[in-house]
Structure 1
Amino acid sequence: MNFQVVNISSEYDIYYAISTVRHFMKQLPFSESDQQKVFVSVSELTRNVLDHAYSKGNFYCELMDEGIRFTVTDRGPGIVNLDEVLNGKRKSSSRGLGLGLSGVMRLMDECWIETSTRGTKVVAIKWAGNK
C-alpha cells in the first residue's frame, strides 16, 4: 500500500502522521535535511488542525514514484487573510514550532492551499533528490 490516512484529533495522531511519513520516506533517496523539512511540515500542518479546526481533520500521505505527497484537510472556520499568513505578517497563537503555513511553503517543493468557511485543504510535495 502506497498511501495512508490518519484522522487528526489528538497529539498522538500528530506523531502517528510523522511516523507514517518516516516509513514512506525510507523507500526513496531523501536526504536527512529533506526528511527533517517534511517532518516539520507535517507537524505544523497537523498541529494547525488541533489548534484551529476543532481537532477535526485528516492527514493523507502518498508515496509517489519520485517523491512524497501529503494532504491535510480540516473542517475548521477557514483561514482569514491567507495572504497575510503566507507573508508572515500575521502570527498565530499556535503551539507548533512557529513556522506555520509560510514555513511549510518554504520547506516543501510544492504546496497548495484552499480555504473557505467550510475548512482548509493543504497539499504539499517533497521530491526525492531535490528535483
Structure 2
Amino acid sequence: MTIRSEHDIRIAVNAVRILANSLAFSKVDLQKLIVAVSELTQNVLDHTNEPGIFICEMIEGRGIQVTVQDRGKGIKELDQILEGANDFQKKGLGLGLVGAKRLLDDFQIETSEKGTKVIATKWKND
C-alpha cells in the first residue's frame, strides 16, 4: 500500500494487527510490531516529500515481514543513528529507526540518495 498520510499509517498498523492476530502473536509482541510499524511509516511522512510503500506479509507461517520504502534523499548519518550516538529530529514516539530495530528480530536497511528501504521481521515466540 502507499503511505501518503496519517490515515495510511493507521491502515498499515491495522493490517499488521490482523496478520499478527491470525498467527496468535502474544500481546507484547503484537505491541512491539505495531510500534515499530508506526515509527517506520511515520518516517516516510516526516522525512520525505514523496509517498512511500508499505508491505506486510506472513513468512514461514510464523513471522511477519514488513517492508517500508521511500524515495527520499537517503539517510546520511545512518551508522550514528543506528548506534544511538546522535540525538536527531524527534517526532512520533521518538523511537525512530533505532527503536524499531530493537523491537523487531531481523532488521535490514538500505539507503542512498534515491531513497531508503527497510525490511524487518518479527517472529512469533513459541
* TM-score bin (small chain): over 0.9
Unaligned runs of 5+ in 1: 1-5
Structure 1 residue 124 corresponds to structure 2 residue 120:
yes
Distance 1:94 1:13, change over 3 A: farther
Q: Which amino acid aligns with 1:16?
A: I
Moved over 4 A (4+): none
Unaligned runs of 5+ in 2: none
Structure 1 residue 27 corresponds to structure 2 residue 22:
yes
Q: Which amino acid aligns with 1:41?
A: A
Structure 1 residue 77 corresponds to structure 2 residue 38:
no
Structure 1 residue 90 corresponds to structure 2 residue 74:
no
SS in 2 for 1:59: strand
Superposition CA RMSD, Å: 1.1
- Normalising to structure 2: TM-score of the pair? 0.95
SS in 1 for 2:16: helix
Q: What is the rounded CA distance, in whole Å, between the counterparts of 1:122 and 1:11 in structure 2? A: 19
Question: What's the % identity of the aligned pairs?
Answer: 50
Aligned length: 125
- Normalising to structure 1: TM-score of the pair? 0.91
Aligned to 1:3: none
Q: What is the rounded CA distance, in whole Å, between the counterparts of 2:68 and 2:90 in structure 1? A: 17
Q: What is the rounded CA distance, in whole Å, between the counterparts of 1:100 and 1:42 in structure 2? A: 10
Structure 1 residue 103 corresponds to structure 2 residue 99:
yes
**How big is the shift at 1:55?**
4.1
